[in-house]
């Protein structure tokens, strides 16, 4: 799937990438190449979040339509190819080892949030992954 993106830069910042079809999805990088690589990861993380929330995933728009909508001379337009095949929502049973004190804290917070242990750990892992993608 190829999502259109626009890239902008001013003299005091890195290259910023915005994905118009996925509101709130953006990335940045010191070079255009790095910004686009980071955009791929941001798009995948964003789509994964939509899927986990049972939200629809918007299809990519035609880049020419978006260019007409976002009329800015300083935008560089591009396409970011993402492989959504790895975003299967198939649930797998795994076995992990945790210190008892950590497991107790996880269970207490999961219960407070009204989540299962698995749901809590999934949510926490995805939040961490999303934060790392932004910091990268």
Whether 76 and 9 share a structural domain: yes
Q: Band of the pLDDT at 14, cuts 50, 70, 90?
A: very high
The residue among 25, 1, 10, 134 whose CA lies nearest residue 72 is 10
Answer yes or no: is pLDDT of 135 > 90: no
Q: How much is the pLDDT for 87? A: 74
In terms of Cβ atoms closer than 10 Å to its own Cβ (0-12, 13-18, 19+), residue 18 is: buried
Q: How many structural domains comprise the chain?
A: 2
Return the SS3 of 31. coil
Question: Is the same domain home to 9 and 76?
Answer: yes
Q: What is the CATH number of the domain that holds 61?
A: 3.30.160.250
Do 83 and 121 lie in one domain? The reply is no
Q: Are 112 and 97 contained in the same domain?
A: yes
The residue among 71, 87, 103 that closes a domain is 87
The pLDDT of residue 53 is: 84
Of 70, 87, 104, the one marking the end of a domain is 87
Q: By CB neighbour count within 10 A (0-12 exposed, 13-18 middle, 19+ buried), where does 104 fall?
A: exposed
Q: Give residue 104's pLDDT.
A: 97
- Domain assignment of residue 98, given as a range: 91-136
Q: What is the CATH number of the domain that holds 101?
A: 1.10.1220
Predicted confidence (pLDDT) per residue in 50-88, tens digit: 888 888 899 999 999 998 888 877 889 999 999 887 777
Which residues lie below 8 Å from residue 122, measured CB to CB, with a gap of 6+?
A: 52
118 pLDDT more than 90:
yes
Neighbours of 59 (CB within 10 A): 8
Residue 52 confidence (pLDDT): 80
The verdict on 70 and 97 lying in the same domain is no
The verdict on 41 and 97 lying in the same domain is no
Mean pLDDT, rounded, of the chain:
90
Instruction: Say yes or no: 48 and 102 in one domain.
Output: no
């Amino acid at each position: 799937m190829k999502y259109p993106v626009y890239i902008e830069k001013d003299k005091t910042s890195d290259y910023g990438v915005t994905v118009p079809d996925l509101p709130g999805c953006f990335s940045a990088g010191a070079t255009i190449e790095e910004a686009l690589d980071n955009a791929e990861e941001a798009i995948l993380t964003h789509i994964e979040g939509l899927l986990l929330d049972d939200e629809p995933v918007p299809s990519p728009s035609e880049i020419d339509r978006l260019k007409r909508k976002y009329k800015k001379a300083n935008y560089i337009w591009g396409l970011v190819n993402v492989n959504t095949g790895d975003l299967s929502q198939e649930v797998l049973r795994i076995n992990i080892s945790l210190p008892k004190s950590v497991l107790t804290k996880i269970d207490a917070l999961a219960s407070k949030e009204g989540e299962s242990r698995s749901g809590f750990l999934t949510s926490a892992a995805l939040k961490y992954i999303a934060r790392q993608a932004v910091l990268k």
